[in-house]
Chain A
């Protein structure tokens, strides 16, 4: 898959050493000079992620544009439903919304997000590469402007009792003999079914073909049955780190950034398993139907906030990989901890030896069906 190649390449560049780029905002945004609104509401996830956005590009942008006020709304988790409600009420209060890629696809399908020409609205790389090439395959929808690559992966306690050996691959989740104890998995089919099939001996490239069939689905659920009694199902990203810290579980899946802060910032006896990490993307969408002046402001901000330097800056604050190819070499130290961020990136070559790509289009089709099956299975 091309996505992997891009991610690999970017990481390779990271290793080559980060080149110090001068503050370059040479090209002006395509809407420069047009009348613009002077306030903007950004929607994001809150917490450390939103803070990284605030520091990496919102504050610099406000410095350049002191007249502008930016308001945050921490509603990304309900963004799809809220945008639909706003659309029905014909009262759009958001200007730019941070969502995961699958939500972006959904919003695009629903006509709630605006389709953009990426080369037109996004800055090219410093070397002149078009934005669409710089982002490459990460542009999974015409409405989606990627920012970061994150992954869902597994963390485990290093002091778990009664273990033989250390977990080395994803199938340790199923190895109750060597690694007894409670696990946590996300309460949704996505990711879990793939892991189940992978550990049931299905080759990585065949997984979605197998999962498409009734037998394949049964096979995945049967595999999950093996550990069902030992699983705590999480819904919020903070759940697994908390459960790990409390000792409620011995291993569990969550976002890699959450594990980073658990391990590096909170210094908990937890290690991370990068095997079969499920890549996912997060980025902006522009709601459909913004009035012209507000849209101009959004375009101006987007041009700045998604350029190579800004995306690289964001990785100083959080361990998610920048979505631009050209940002990768600029990933450096954590702004406060002084830790080299590259080895904590899901895209680091050492971490991404065996990664798993989330098939957005496939899940858009099978999500409703499999979710019903998953819920029924959970309720049994």
Chain B
């Protein structure tokens, strides 16, 4: 057996044995320059590796930006929910430990909500939050929109009371003198001078507001609201609070501070102390504000469990809510519950997408296999001409192809006309072949067929005709030769084609949208709807993530059952 054993017969030194010999000697083997050979080799290899890395770097970066990062963003978006805690920070904090079954939350929570809503309405964030929460509970969109309009007026009576007593309270300057650090006042004046000098096109922001020492301890609520007021003014309008009258809620906060701590003026000196002392007297004569009643007046729904249950359930930074919705479930204060039966749609759609994609894959195999076989066995010239016919669909717009199917398949369409003309169906009983699952399967099989034929063809091309001849010469009939010898060798092509077609199919949405009617649409159509129409991107991301996971699971199953080595796109 010369050939079987030939490899081991090599005598004499080889690179392997040389190294082995060298290692047997004392110490590491040295390169010509005296460095250890291993190090020398490693540095030579490192250069090679860096060069290889540089060569693939453009592709790597491209994939990073077009594939990995977007998928990462999608995964993140499907759980991200910071909008609630960012828009309503105080409310979320105040809601800690709230149980929605015990009725509407305390006045504290409404006080926090008022403050959050004032800021949000100024920043025009409240409607966005309303839209977000409206995905979970119907009606929250308008509730937030109304509240945004209403919260402006909360505390108006207190403003009037203070201003009536002393008009100085109306002046922005009064507040600045009362609350601001002296250094800030100087910086603000300088900024105002620069603005004056620059005229048009001045875009420097005023200095960030700084409180005087001890003010924050004396008037905690007031300073908290005033800080927000100054910050919003600064970032939104580029203005300094010096010339602006604060929001009503600041006056209300001042009242609450003074009512809670009548000694607060003691922390101030001079005119400010007097002003505050006067204010404290007025405050003593005012009634505490009923926040709950104020919201009840805006809309009594604010006292409903639904609203607070939803806000509470979605107050965390990350939520499983989108995934729950994707599975026809709902995140409620009592945990995840199934949604009403008349709203369950995603389970059906996922199942339908899978089954129909499977149907499309099977019909692609059934139609594509004989075509690929023919192509692989014809003379190259003829095969090339036919290959152009196979590829032709690729050169036509998807919309055109799909619309062509509409013309063919509709009830007054070409196929029905022919069937009626042939007398196979009566004019009144024309077949319904479109706007249903049949239409989707037909049109998508046509569109995806090349993706089945091409891998099949390239695999079949590598199966020499001599296998079939050998089988026949060994006594196999045509069928046995095909089934036992040819078919098993074409399985990698079927595998590759099926994976391609199936994965492309479950992600399709244009064709199902056009020819699928109501029963032939896929989950991707819902994803597209949430991306472009409902703007519920979180839900779209969750649905997309589930779809991705399903594909990966199927891929894994395929690997387990068939073996991924058994996939070939070509020789």
Contact = CB atoms under 8 A, between A and B. Distances in A.
A–B contact, 8 Å CB criterion (strictly below):
yes
Interface residues of A, number: 37
B412 interface: yes
B532 A364 contact: no
B356 to A, nearest CB: 13
Given A247-B412, A373-B343, A379-B345, A78 B532 contact: yes
A158 B529 CA distance: 35
A84 B348 contact: no
Given A376-B343, A379-B345, A379-B519, A365 B139 contact: yes
B534 A371 contact: yes
A215 interface: no
Contact of A367 (B411, B412, B519, B534): B534
Contacts of A365: 134, 138-142
Contacts, number: 91
Given A246-B412, A368-B536, A110 B519 contact: no
Contacts of B348: 376, 379
B342 interface: yes
B43 to A, nearest CB: 43
A111 B138 contact: no
A109 B125 contact: no
Contacts of B135: 368
A218 B343 CA distance: 12
A28 interface: no
A108 interface: yes
Given A78-B532, A379-B519, A109 B130 contact: yes
B526 A106 contact: no
A116 B532 CA distance: 25
Interface residues of B, number: 40
Nearest to A103: B533
B337 interface: no
B131 A106 contact: yes
Contacts of B529: 371
A246 B410 contact: yes
B531 interface: yes
Q: Which of A80, A246, A379 gathers the greatest number of chain B CB atoms within 10 Å?
A: A379
A377 interface: yes
A135 to B, nearest CB: 21
A223 interface: no
Interface in B515-540: 517-519, 526, 529, 531-537
A235 interface: yes
Interface string B99-138: 0000000000000000000000000110110110011001
A110 B141 CA distance: 11
| Minimum-distance CB pairs A-B, first 4 | A109-B127, A378-B518, A369-B138, A81-B532
21 contacts: A77-B532, A80-B533, A81-B532, A106-B535, A111-B124, A246-B412, A361-B142, A361-B145, A364-B134, A365-B138, A365-B139, A366-B139, A367-B534, A368-B534, A369-B343, A372-B339, A372-B343, A372-B345, A379-B345, A379-B518, A379-B519
Interface of B: 124-125, 127-128, 130-131, 134-135, 138-142, 145, 339, 342-345, 348-349, 352, 410-413, 435, 513, 517-519, 526, 529, 531-537
Given A108-B127, A368-B534, 10 more contacts: A106-B131, A111-B127, A232-B435, A233-B517, A361-B145, A365-B141, A369-B138, A371-B534, A376-B344, A379-B348
Interface of A: 77-78, 80-81, 84, 106, 108-111, 115, 182, 187, 218, 221, 232-233, 235, 246-248, 361-362, 364-369, 371-373, 375-379
